[in-house]
Amino acid sequence: MSGTLGSISIRAMNYLDVQPLRREVLRAGMLDQTVNFDGDDDPTTMHLGAFTDAEVNIGVSTWLQRPFPSEPQLRGLQLRGMATAVLVQGHGIGGLLLHAGMEYAAAIGVDLIWANARDSALTFYNRHGFSTVGDGFIETVTQLPHHQVVAYLVQ
């Protein structure tokens, strides 16, 4: 992508390298700043990051091969740790990461992508083809309201 941020590239990252942005964006102001997710170092887990042409990491996302609890018979990919650096939110970086993750999902042949999404990000997910399902809940670490979202891949 090219625009006001210059040229942005999306590529796979090491799981330790996604942690600074996770901490800055997803754990800001929280006492518990733990950003290790179960399955982060699993060989089947993909971490996708967005980088400026100066190699600054401005977005991260993690894609774990995990079934969607409501449809365990289908092959699921769980999206976690979706974060865009605060100063560049709303410029399409999250969309680029979602798009790259969807391409990855299609390449590995999963049936669906799902996430526990913050309610504040539901519009973002819905605009990218995810449906909101089930009742809302308070996520234990962040204490923020969440819903599950799911997008099905057409094979």
Q: Which residues here bind ligand COA, judged by CB under 6 A?
A: 25-26, 82-84, 89-95, 117-118, 120-121, 123-124, 127
> Which residue, 44 or 120, has its beta carbon nearer to ligand COA?
120
DSSP states along 16-82: GGGHHHHHHHHSTT-S----PPTTTT-TT-EEEEEE-TT--EEEEEEEE----TT-TTS-EEEEEEE
Nearest distance in Å: CB 73, ligand COA: 25
Rounded to an integer, what is the distance from CA 68 to the centroid of its chain? Answer: 15
CB 79 → ligand COA: shortest distance, Å?
8
Return the number of the residue (74 or 121) whose C-beta is nearest ligand COA: 121
Nearer to ligand COA, 70 or 142 (CB): 142
Q: Measured from the CB of residue 26, what is the shortest distance to ligand COA in angstroms? A: 6
Kindly list the distances between the CA atom of residue 152 and the CA atoms of 19, 68, 75, 89, 141, in Å, as whole numbers in the listed order.
28, 11, 10, 26, 28
In order of 11, 73, 134, the CA distances from 61 in angstroms are: 10, 25, 23
CB of 127 to ligand COA, least distance (A): 4
Nearer to ligand COA, 109 or 122 (CB): 122
